[in-house]
Chain A
Amino acid sequence: MPEIRIDVLEKYFSDFRESLDKVKTVDELNRIKGQYLGRRSLLGEFLAQLRQLSPEEKKVWGQKINEMKNRMEEEFKEKYEQLLFTKRKEMLIDVTLPGKKQWVGSFHPVLIVRDQVLSIFQSLGFRIESGPEIESDFYNFEALNIPPDHPARDDQDSFYLSPNWLLRTHTSPGQIRAMQKLTPPFKVVVPGRCYRRDAFDATHSPMFHQIEGLVVATSISMGDLKGTVEIFVRRFFGPQRKIRFRPSYFPFTEPSAEVDVSCGVCQGEGCRSCGYTGWLEIMGAGLVHPQVFEKVGYDPKKVRGFAFGMGIERITMLKFGITDIRWFLENDVNFLEQFRTWR
């Protein structure tokens, strides 16, 4: 066992340096590391011998050996990094070649708009409710003040499953269900699919989506309806858009109104897309008819409410400038992928 002497240590260090210089691979390097720095190396033995020295000697030699060990480890690390990074050969990458692109997904435009509308009303404190697509005559017509043989039934030609059951022609049955479930005051929106016996053309589809809104409280006015719709229109269509209320008729609201929004193309001046009127029809609305309240057991003397309903396909077409409603149900991925930036 070599004695700890200064020349022995220096020789040990220079041997290590010499071996390092010859090293070509990481494996070789690791072997050298084991040989000079490992547990069974001479260095380990030096450290073991330290224990037998006097405290003064231990302090002096311990410091020297540790210094040497640190320098060796540093040299080793340097050599290791050198080996590691010279190993990587540069590739010739043509950065202009296309990448490995995976599929990019997209939501359906009608549902993008549905979700946008819902979140606007949610931010106004509305609750989201839902209802079945197969409805009974009671919910779809009767409770909405549309008795059998009412001429308004002509406007909503229905798909019947049996004399008493049909595919809902509007989301308005959602009003009845919400009133049966909740206690006033409340604000709800009800989205959903609806069905009418309209043959397909550019603006008609036997299946479409609507969103119904209903607010019931002790004293609701046409003003509340107008203010709410105004906020919705500004947030959905843009701050510069105006609304127009005009009288209309729905059996389940009184007074009733049709809501128009100023044309976004001509800003109300009149152009081809608004039929030169400057206005685009977007929803039907009004105050809940007292008869409807009575049907669900509410006292029309104690509550008033407003309701509105709008076709989602219609406002989707307006928002994106889509000219044919049939594209929505075709689901051509070439059409759908254009909505990848929308959510």
Chain B
Amino acid sequence: MRVAYSILRRFFKSFDVSPQELAILLIEQGLVVEKMVRVEDVFAFPFVVGTLEEVRESFPYSECLIRLKDKVFSTRVKSWGVPPEGAKVLLSLHEEVPSFSLVAGEGKETSEFLIVLPDAFPEGEDVSRHLFGDDTLLDLEITSNRGDCLSVIGVVRDLSAKLDLDWEWPQISYQEVEMASPIALQNEDLNLCPYYTGKFIANVEVKPSSWEIIKDLYLLGLRPINNVVDATNLVMMETGQPLHAFDASRIQGNRVIVRRARRGEKIITIDGLERELSPDMLVIADGFSPIGIAGVMGGQNTEVYPATREVFLESAFFNRVSIRRTSKALSLRTEASARFERGVDPQGVRYASERVLSLLWQEGKVQIAKEWSIAGEAPHYDQTIQVYPEKIGEILNGQIATEKMMQILKRLGFTIVSLETDNFVVKVPSFRADVSTLVDVAEEIGRINGYDQIFPCLPSFPFDPGNEDKNYVLEKRLRTFLVARGLKEAVTLSFVDSKTVQELGVQPDSLIAVKNPLSQDQSFLRSQLLFPFLGILRLNLGRGRNHFGLFEVGKVFYPAQKAGNPWQEELRLGVALCGNLLPSLWQKGTPVDFFTLKGFTEEILEVVGFVPEMVQFLPWDDRTPGFERDAAFIIQSPEKMVLGWGGKLSEKILWKLDIRGEIYYLELKLEEIFTLVGELALPIRGANLFPAITRDISIVVDRDLLWATIAEKVNEIVNRERMAVEKIEVFDVFEGQPLPQDKKGLSFRCVFRSSERTLNDEEVEVWIHKIKSEIKHIRGVHLREEFVSS
């Protein structure tokens, strides 16, 4: 909503606030000033006065010769907008080039009309300052509860409370004639249109508006059209009540019907576009077809144009929800619909109409029918609120005198109905439907009295915030660990594009689709952190960042019905490693490989409290696409719950997605993992001071036999025989000569140590023998010393 300093000031008798002070006052009372502009920055100054010397008619345009001292300019103007020869007209002049557009940077070849100035203006003079003064324009951002402030009067009223100043309503002054309106009004939907008024005006002469009206429209950010339309627009800006003028002679069948649109009905609106209507939209129709979309935009078929002689002036109160829906459905937001959907003043419908009549009557000639066409009645509004000043003081934490509270409310249009010792009752004005309870009144008093008068203090009451949530603590520990290990934390978009999903071979129906995505890139929600990670990997590698580790803790989403919610979300950790862990050029580095990633995985699990027996690493099994088959793993709990997966990302898929690099990626299901660690804490013991005895065992096994098979068996023996084993650790894996091709060698070290005594060699020998004698019975396993290559 744009207002001009000069226009606001006009309403007050005395007004000694500068534009800068005004802006601050408006902000303090909740009318945000988005922008302050000086007139010279908006208008195509300098404006000069020319004389229309000669008109050469050639319908529909006329060639106008305009004299400016010793020069004569020529311009093409629509014929209806050409004043008589000799008139003083306004033009802007820039480096000897004249323009008839008032707004800076809006040059046009032809003009709708010439702007006529009073004859007293001397030709050739720069009248910019004289016409516009030293004005400032303020763009206000009006919050959606303050429909009343989408009008100059609304802003003036609010300002009058802040300044505690009287102001005056614009005058109503016109005369009516005894004349029957030929238009019959019929309202078929009192629900969507509770109140409709029409006024018939005859003997209308459509012409350019007077300079005063043109100037005000420009200052308020509108463009002049003709005197009739300008009057309705100006009054809308003034009062907040949208109005519409129909060319009465073009209303078919002399009937105006307020009704819902019929299925398939169409209308060409005044912007020249054809729009298809639906039965939930309210239209204004004549005997044959719609002539306007109620509260949104008029139809071209009844638009006021230069030949119009009779006007039917509409001022109505429409259902705000209906207007909002219609405007949304048609993607057609207008000054009118913006006001209706925020709620106009039901008691202001008639006043606005009378203001238009006053403006038109001032031009002389028009004949206004005495009879009003009225359908429905203005909704009554009689909300009252009992106000307890003590409560208001409590809410605002400040002392405000009851007198002052009442004065503020009166200035805002409230009426004091009664006054008791500890309370008073106010009647809420019809234009403030947003105020209905005591707290609303508190806000009104607070914002006018000034929020700077709120005395700061602190809430004080007994409340134990409790410990941090376990998952929150674990997540923090995990993030801290990963950063300490040199990884950078990422935050990626929760959306994913369909291309990535398809390349990964993920079924789109396993994802949640966004019904109204901003773009195709963001049409699904990620069901794996991997999806957005691919994007940031492409970006980093594309920019030549070759050595890095990135991680993200975030939610993934997938469809699954659970407790009445069809969509599930789950916390995950994603880790991507790439390049070299020691990236200096002159030292031999350590490239990230499969076992780097696995080491990270094990460390992460240990950090959140896992012991090795709590997880199993299994070879990759198609459940998670995107990895190289031979270099990926699934992590599983002993209860066969999948806790995560990781490995080398598929080179082929990365290539297709335009990602050039070798990347190792891990994704962990944090919620499952956090559940498993529970509150469990390992018992803490003193350090073990007894010596250890170590023995190595070498075996030869089938190539595809997993180390886990051996490790599980050894663990089983150790537990069963209650051996004092501290650690079983692989230290060599070898293939090739002298072993046959289908075999591999595995060597592992058993570290024996008791926490109670010093072990002796003899008992350890017995244990080693036991282990050896049992593992050699596993299919495909031979002790190295017994293996005979055949």
Residues of A within 8 A of B480 (CB): 343
Contact A134 B567 (CB under 8 A): yes
Contact B465 A126 (CB under 8 A): yes
Docked complex: A152-185 residues within 8 A CB-CB of B: 152, 154-155, 159-162, 165, 167, 185
Contact B446 A336 (CB under 8 A): no
Residues of A within 8 A of B (CB): 97-108, 110-111, 115, 122, 125-128, 130, 132-134, 136, 149-152, 154-155, 159-162, 165, 167, 185-187, 193, 195, 197, 199, 206-207, 215, 217-224, 226-228, 230-231, 244-249, 251, 254-258, 287, 289-290, 304, 306, 328-334, 336-337, 343
A206 closest partner in B (C-beta): B518
Complex Cα spacing A108 to B490, Å:
6
Contact A160 B514 (CB under 8 A): yes
Complex Cα spacing A257 to B549, Å:
43
Contact A162 B586 (CB under 8 A): no
Residues of B within 8 A of A185 (CB): 461-463
Q: List 14 extra interface pairs beyond A222-B454, A223-B454, CB under 8 A.
A: A100-B584, A103-B581, A106-B483, A110-B491, A111-B489, A111-B491, A133-B557, A206-B495, A218-B461, A228-B458, A249-B143, A254-B443, A331-B488, A332-B539
**With contacts A105-B486, A289-B439, A336-B490 known, is A165 near B566, CB below 8 A?**
yes
**With contacts A127-B466, A221-B395 known, is A103 near B548, CB below 8 A?**
yes
**With contacts A105-B484, A105-B487, A254-B440 known, is A193 near B555, CB below 8 A?**
yes
Contact A331 B490 (CB under 8 A): yes
Contact A151 B341 (CB under 8 A): yes
The answer to the question of B685 belonging to the interface, with a C-beta cut-off of 8 Å to chain A, is no
A136 closest partner in B (C-beta): B565
Docked complex: B101-154 residues within 8 A CB-CB of A: 143-146
Contact B494 A330 (CB under 8 A): no
**With contacts A256-B443, A257-B451 known, is A329 near B493, CB below 8 A?**
yes
Residues of B within 8 A of A126 (CB): 465
Complex Cα spacing A128 to B475, Å:
14
Interface readout for B458-491 with A: 1 if CB under 8 Å, 0 if not? 1101110110110010001001101111111111
Complex Cα spacing A154 to B536, Å:
32
Complex Cα spacing A14 to B552, Å:
73
Complex Cα spacing A108 to B488, Å:
7
Interface readout for B697-729 with A: 1 if CB under 8 Å, 0 if not? 000000000000000000000000000000000
**With contacts A155-B144, A246-B28, A246-B451 known, is A331 near B492, CB below 8 A?**
yes
Q: Identify which of A107, A149, A227 contacts B456 (C-beta below 8 A).
A: A227
Residues of A within 8 A of B545 (CB): 332-334
The answer to the question of B649 belonging to the interface, with a C-beta cut-off of 8 Å to chain A, is no
Complex Cα spacing A261 to B758, Å:
69
Complex Cα spacing A108 to B554, Å:
13
17 cross-chain CB contacts under 8 A: A98-B586, A105-B487, A107-B489, A111-B479, A111-B491, A161-B567, A165-B565, A221-B394, A221-B396, A224-B459, A227-B459, A254-B443, A287-B395, A328-B491, A329-B493, A331-B491, A333-B540
Q: Identify which of A186, A207, A230, A256 contacts B494 (C-beta below 8 A).
A: A207
Q: Identify which of A128, A149, A186, A256 contacts B324 (C-beta below 8 A).
A: A149
Contact B488 A337 (CB under 8 A): yes
A304 closest partner in B (C-beta): B395
Complex Cα spacing A15 to B212, Å:
128
Query: In the complex, which of the residues A107, A228, A331 has the most CB atoms of chain B within 10 Å of its own CB atom?
Result: A331
The answer to the question of B547 belonging to the interface, with a C-beta cut-off of 8 Å to chain A, is yes
Contact B483 A249 (CB under 8 A): no
The answer to the question of B550 belonging to the interface, with a C-beta cut-off of 8 Å to chain A, is yes
**With contacts A185-B463, A228-B459 known, is A334 near B492, CB below 8 A?**
no
A289 closest partner in B (C-beta): B439
Residues of A within 8 A of B540 (CB): 331-333
The answer to the question of B68 belonging to the interface, with a C-beta cut-off of 8 Å to chain A, is no
Residues of B within 8 A of A304 (CB): 395
Rounded to whole Å, the gap between the CB of B768 and the closest CB of chain A is 31
A228 closest partner in B (C-beta): B458
A149 closest partner in B (C-beta): B321
Complex Cα spacing A207 to B518, Å:
12
A158 closest partner in B (C-beta): B516
Residues of B within 8 A of A207 (CB): 493-495
Interface readout for B500-535 with A: 1 if CB under 8 Å, 0 if not? 000000000000111111100010010000000000
Residues of B within 8 A of A134 (CB): 512, 557, 565, 567, 569
Contact A102 B454 (CB under 8 A): no
The answer to the question of B457 belonging to the interface, with a C-beta cut-off of 8 Å to chain A, is yes
**With contacts A151-B324, A228-B458 known, is A331 near B494, CB below 8 A?**
no
Rounded to whole Å, the gap between the CB of A315 and the closest CB of chain B is 15
Rounded to whole Å, the gap between the CB of B622 and the closest CB of chain A is 28
Contact A247 B458 (CB under 8 A): no
The answer to the question of B29 belonging to the interface, with a C-beta cut-off of 8 Å to chain A, is yes
The answer to the question of B452 belonging to the interface, with a C-beta cut-off of 8 Å to chain A, is yes
Query: In the complex, which of the residues A105, A126, A245 has the most CB atoms of chain B within 10 Å of its own CB atom?
Result: A105
Contact B483 A246 (CB under 8 A): no
Contact B465 A105 (CB under 8 A): no
**With contacts A333-B545, A333-B548 known, is A125 near B487, CB below 8 A?**
no
Contact A331 B550 (CB under 8 A): yes
Contact B459 A160 (CB under 8 A): no
Residues of A within 8 A of B688 (CB): none
Rounded to whole Å, the gap between the CB of A102 and the closest CB of chain B is 6
Contact B489 A226 (CB under 8 A): no
Complex Cα spacing A195 to B437, Å:
32
Contact A245 B451 (CB under 8 A): yes
Contact B483 A107 (CB under 8 A): yes
Contact B569 A199 (CB under 8 A): no
Residues of A within 8 A of B518 (CB): 197, 199, 206
Docked complex: B203-260 residues within 8 A CB-CB of A: none
Q: Identify which of A132, A186, A222 contacts B396 (C-beta below 8 A).
A: A222
The answer to the question of B652 belonging to the interface, with a C-beta cut-off of 8 Å to chain A, is no
Closest 4 pairs (CB-CB, A-B): A223-B397, A103-B486, A247-B30, A255-B443
Query: In the complex, which of the residues B454, B539, B543, B554 has the most CB atoms of chain A within 10 Å of its own CB atom?
Result: B454
Complex Cα spacing A65 to B161, Å:
112
Q: Identify which of A159, A193, A199, A287 contacts B439 (C-beta below 8 A).
A: A287
Complex Cα spacing A98 to B486, Å:
18
Q: Identify which of A122, A197, A249, A329 contacts B516 (C-beta below 8 A).
A: A197
Complex Cα spacing A221 to B476, Å:
34
Residues of A within 8 A of B275 (CB): none
Rounded to whole Å, the gap between the CB of B629 and the closest CB of chain A is 29
Contact B547 A103 (CB under 8 A): yes
The answer to the question of B378 belonging to the interface, with a C-beta cut-off of 8 Å to chain A, is no
Residues of B within 8 A of A136 (CB): 565
The answer to the question of B309 belonging to the interface, with a C-beta cut-off of 8 Å to chain A, is no
The answer to the question of B770 belonging to the interface, with a C-beta cut-off of 8 Å to chain A, is no
Residues of A within 8 A of B513 (CB): 161
Residues of A within 8 A of B468 (CB): 128
Complex Cα spacing A127 to B466, Å:
7
Residues of B within 8 A of A161 (CB): 512-515, 525, 567
Contact A103 B555 (CB under 8 A): no
The answer to the question of B615 belonging to the interface, with a C-beta cut-off of 8 Å to chain A, is no
A219 closest partner in B (C-beta): B394
Complex Cα spacing A149 to B454, Å:
34
Q: Identify which of B324, B484, B586 contacts A97 (C-beta below 8 A).
A: B586
Interface readout for B440-452 with A: 1 if CB under 8 Å, 0 if not? 1011001100011
Q: Identify which of B27, B456, B465, B484 contacts A187 (C-beta below 8 A).
A: B465
Rounded to whole Å, the gap between the CB of B138 and the closest CB of chain A is 13
Rounded to whole Å, the gap between the CB of B30 and the closest CB of chain A is 3
Complex Cα spacing A150 to B492, Å:
32
The answer to the question of B582 belonging to the interface, with a C-beta cut-off of 8 Å to chain A, is yes
Q: Identify which of A187, A193, A256, A257 contacts B459 (C-beta below 8 A).
A: A187
Residues of A within 8 A of B566 (CB): 162, 165
Complex Cα spacing A204 to B466, Å:
36
Contact A160 B516 (CB under 8 A): yes
Residues of B within 8 A of A337 (CB): 488
The answer to the question of B76 belonging to the interface, with a C-beta cut-off of 8 Å to chain A, is no
Complex Cα spacing A218 to B341, Å:
37
